[in-house]
């Protein structure tokens, strides 16, 4: 366990040091950390602040400002359910309820096994195929309440397979 | 360069802000997020004025508008007053527990409406505390989150390693939104407790250990560092007396 922590620290350090220690690279570093860890750990923010020479509070301010960053671990599969006007009318609240019932997580939460996390977004810009849902980078169009369980099941299988 | 503010000729330098020029000429422009120690922030927007330039009129925030040409400024028109009234109403909705905004809400005769209020909130997010903390050399606090969740806080709302407990943030806050308590020789601020040091002269607690250590680390020892403000003033007065 202790080895793992040190390993993670090294990994983060490598990501940070891939950029020159300049203010303008803070967001780029944070994007890379977010991609690699699925969230921004406190050590990473402290590391960035120290490396670039910017107060920790400033880095934290940036990290909380952008929706693209998360300070709590996101699941391996991040489900984004569109809750814009068109999707809302086409039944996205039902989809959110379905996910909540099946995975036991609400918007902004992550399952205990860190496989799934759920968030709602205001518009994915694809109203013609409403209701839309995205899992990581894959778009699922015209999701029905029966299809959604199949989709989740598919990802669950994929996750089991990987392990 | 000479500009006209409220029919009065005012001498200005290139790049001065309208607010600076007006304050020098003793022309009052209401502000909330401005402090003479810092450059204008343009946050509260209360300092709106009407600028007439080559026959065109526009509304600008006087604290961030640099004067580069000869312009005519009007600090109060019906249109500006109406906008200020709205701004005060919105600022009050953000920080309805603030005595300052409560009294401004009354003074500007804002009409009650059904817009939701941030019940219990005193902070109107003017950012002056963040600037003060940065100026003191700590940068322990910052504006976090955004939109309706925006607030001033330490990272993760935890006791900050950088905080010296100097209380500059609480002192500069126009709405007394920052809680600072002193009890039994300890000061508590931003979820952190600091041991207070007593004045060598009068024995009254006057600063935190961290604050004094920080000042000592930055420069040569100052005999007056170990005395409180009022003792320092007395000692300085004594010295001047000897001189004269």
pTM for this prediction: 0.84
Say if the Cβ atoms of A57 and B145 lie within 8 Å. Answer: no
As a whole number of Å, the CA-based R_g of chain A is: 18
**What are the backbone dihedrals phi and psi of residue A96, each rounded to the nearest 5 degrees, phi first?**
-60, -45
How confident is the model at residue A74, as a pLDDT?
Answer: 86
Over 60: is that where the pLDDT of A4 sits? Answer: no
Quickly count helices (H) and strands (E) in chain B. 7, 11
Q: Which residues of A touch B (CB under 8 A)?
A: 42, 45, 55-58, 60-61, 64-65
| B48-83 confidence digits (pLDDT tens) | 999 999 889 999 999 999 999 999 999 999 999 999
SS3 state of residue B181: strand
A10 pLDDT band (50/70/90 cuts)?
confident
Contacts of B139 in chain A (CB under 8 A): 55-58
Question: Residues B211-228: what's their mean pLDDT?
Answer: 85
Contacts of A60 in chain B (CB under 8 A): 142, 144, 155-156
How confident is the model at residue A8, as a pLDDT?
Answer: 53
Over 90: is that where the pLDDT of A73 sits? Answer: no
| B3-15 confidence digits (pLDDT tens) | 999 999 999 999 9
Q: Is B136 in the A-facing interface, judged by CB distances under 8 Å?
A: no
> Dihedral angle at the C-alpha atoms of B81, B84, B86, B91, nearest 10 degrees?
-160
Contacts of A122 in chain B (CB under 8 A): none
Question: Residues B184-195: what's their mean pLDDT?
Answer: 95
Over 50: is that where the pLDDT of A158 sits? Answer: yes
Residue whose C-alpha is closest to residue A79's, from A36, A120, A39: A120
How confident is the model at residue B160, as a pLDDT?
Answer: 92
Q: Which two tokens stand for residue B84?
A: 């200020």
Yes or no: domain A2-65 corresponds to CATH 1.10.10: yes
Residue whose C-alpha is closest to residue A75's, from A44, A103, A51, A45: A103
How confident is the model at residue A114, as a pLDDT?
Answer: 86
Distance CA B82, CA B108 (A): 9
Residues 6+ apart with CB under 8 A from B118: B93, B94, B95, B96
Domains in chain B, CATH or no CATH each: 2-76 (3.10.20.740), 78-125 (no CATH), 128-243 (no CATH)
Sheet of strand B72-74, all strands in order from the earlier edge strand to the far edge: B8-11, B2-5, B72-74, B48-53, B56-61
Instruction: Provide the percentage of residues in chain B whose pLDDT is more than 90.
Output: 86
Domain extent listing, chain A: 2-65, 77-162
Residue A89: count other Cβ atoms within 10 Å of its Cβ.
Answer: 12
Sheet of strand B186-189, all strands in order from the earlier edge strand to the far edge: B180-183, B186-189, B192-198, B205-208
Q: What architecture is domain A77-162? A: 3-Layer(aba) Sandwich (3.40)
Strand partners, B143: B152
Over 80: is that where the pLDDT of A29 sits? Answer: yes
Q: Which two tokens stand for residue B190?
A: 């931003």
User: Nearest residue on chain B to A60, judged by CA atoms?
Assistant: B155
């Amino acid at each position: 366990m202790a080895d793992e922590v040190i390993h993670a620290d090294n990994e983060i350090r490598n990501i940070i040091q891939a950029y020159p220690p300049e203010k303008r690279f803070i967001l780029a570093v944070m994007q890379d950390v977010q991609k690699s860890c699925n969230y921004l750990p406190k050590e990473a923010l402290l590391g960035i602040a120290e490396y670039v020479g910017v107060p920790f509070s400033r880095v934290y301010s940036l990290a909380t400002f952008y929706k693209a960053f998360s300070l709590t671990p996101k699941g391996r599969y991040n489900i984004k359910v569109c809750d814009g006007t068109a999707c809302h009318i086409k039944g996205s609240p039902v989809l959110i309820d379905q996910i909540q019932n099946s995975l036991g997580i609400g918007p902004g939460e992550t399952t205990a096994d860190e496989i799934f996390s759920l968030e709602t977004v205001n518009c994915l810009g694809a109203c013609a195929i409403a209701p839309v849902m995205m899992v990581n980078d894959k778009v699922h169009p015209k999701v029905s309440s029966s299809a959604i369980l199949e989709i989740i099941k598919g990802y669950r299988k994929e996750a089991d397979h990987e392990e | 360069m000479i500009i006209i503010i409220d029919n009065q000729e005012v001498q200005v330098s290139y790049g001065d802000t309208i607010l600076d020029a007006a304050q020098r000429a003793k022309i009052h422009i209401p502000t909330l997020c401005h402090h003479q120690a810092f450059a204008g922030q343009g946050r509260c927007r209360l300092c709106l004025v009407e600028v007439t330039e080559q026959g065109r009129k526009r509304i600008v925030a006087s604290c961030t508008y640099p004067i580069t040409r000869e312009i005519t400024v009007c600090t109060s028109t019906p249109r500006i007053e109406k906008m200020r009234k709205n701004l005060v109403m919105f600022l009050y909705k953000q920080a309805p527990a603030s005595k300052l905004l409560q009294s401004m809400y009354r003074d500007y005769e804002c009409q009650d409406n059904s817009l939701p209020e941030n019940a219990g909130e005193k902070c109107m997010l003017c950012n002056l505390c963040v600037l003060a903390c940065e100026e003191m050399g700590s940068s322990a606090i910052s504006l976090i989150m955004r939109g309706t969740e925006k607030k001033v806080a330490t990272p993760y709302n935890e006791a900050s390693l950088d905080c010296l407990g100097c209380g500059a943030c609480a002192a500069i806050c126009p709405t007394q939104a920052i809680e600072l308590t002193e009890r039994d020789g300890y000061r508590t601020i931003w979820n952190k407790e600091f041991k207070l040091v007593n004045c060598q002269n009068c024995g009254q607690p006057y600063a935190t250990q961290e604050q004094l250590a920080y000042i000592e680390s930055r420069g040569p020892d100052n005999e007056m560092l170990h005395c409180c403000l009022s003792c320092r003033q007395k000692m300085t007065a004594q010295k001047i007396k000897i001189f004269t």
